[in-house]
Chain A
Amino acid sequence: AQTVTQSQPEMSVQEAETVTLSCTYDTSENNYYLFWYKQPPSRQMILVIRQEAYKQQNATENRFSVNFQKAAKSFSLKISDSQLGDTAMYFCAFMKPKGGSEKLVFGKGTKLTVNP
């Protein structure tokens, strides 16, 4: 079974600074997807960024980028130029595609606070 570990329960960063959230996972699969989801207070979870394991190039979405280290099974999220609206819970998730439900396996999350 796949597991996802987020070792930082809480983090804080000053507005406009850069912060990196950590995620490690365990799987015997070779082909899979990794995601970072954002859950703002009292609001729905939204996708921040995703990475296909077969792609060596790290995914980027505007201020969000990942450092995907397949051999180390590590998938960290870097948020540049942090904004107050980035304050939220961030969840790392794993998915095994095709041939199944494509359900997501989540970590416990990291609570990020961006301070003015």
Chain B
Amino acid sequence: DTGVSQNPRHKITKRGQNVTFRCDPISEHNRLYWYRQTLGQGPEFLTYFQNEAQLEKSRLLSDRFSAERPKGSFSTLEIQRTEQGDSAMYLCASSGTANTEAFFGQGTRLTVV
């Protein structure tokens, strides 16, 4: 296992289109997080899964955003009707119950034009 993997690395989309990102966490990790990072800012928490259950969502996660983690393995983050303000780096992280360290993926950079 080489770590947290995110695909695609880059995505350019037109305003109003839907996009979906994928995150494959470290295999033995049951906790999975999505963060959003805009230019000049630190990552901001979006949502958290423990196994397949989505247990916490930030107020940043508008109705246009949805995340899933079927079977407690990989996760997807979908943004519907993208807006220019959605342009950001979307980071995925995972951690195990016995370890508080979160391991991050390289992120998906979204540009909405």
| A50-B101, A102-B31 known; A108+B48 contact, CB < 8 A | no
CB A116 to nearest CB in B, in angstroms, measures 26
Contact indicator B40/A104 (Cβ below 8 Å) = no
- A45, A47, A50, A107: residue with the most chain B Cβ atoms closer than 10 Å: A45
Interface residues on A, range: 20 to 34
Q: Of residues 32 to 53 in A, which have CB atoms within 8 Å of B's CB atoms?
A: 33, 37, 43-47, 50
| A45-B91, A95-B100, A101-B48 known; A108+B31 contact, CB < 8 A | no
A85 adjacent to chain B (CB < 8 Å): no
* Cβ contacts B38-51/A at 8 Å (1 or 0 each): 00111111001010
The complex places the Cα of A107 from the Cα of B40 at a distance, in Å, of 10
Contact of A106 among B3, B42, B50, B101 (CB under 8 A): B42
Contact indicator A102/B95 (Cβ below 8 Å) = yes
The complex places the Cα of A32 from the Cα of B100 at a distance, in Å, of 11
Q: Of residues 71 to 113 in B, which have CB atoms within 8 Å of A's CB atoms?
A: 91, 93, 95, 100-107
| A45-B91, A91-B43 known; A103+B33 contact, CB < 8 A | yes
B56 adjacent to chain A (CB < 8 Å): yes
Contact indicator B104/A44 (Cβ below 8 Å) = yes
Q: Of residues 33 to 71 in B, which have CB atoms within 8 Å of A's CB atoms?
A: 33, 35, 40-45, 48, 50, 55-56
The complex places the Cα of A50 from the Cα of B100 at a distance, in Å, of 10
Contact indicator A109/B48 (Cβ below 8 Å) = no
The complex places the Cα of A37 from the Cα of B103 at a distance, in Å, of 10
Extra inter-chain contacts (9) besides given A37-B104, A91-B42, CB under 8 Å: A44-B104, A44-B105, A97-B100, A100-B56, A101-B48, A101-B55, A102-B31, A102-B102, A105-B45
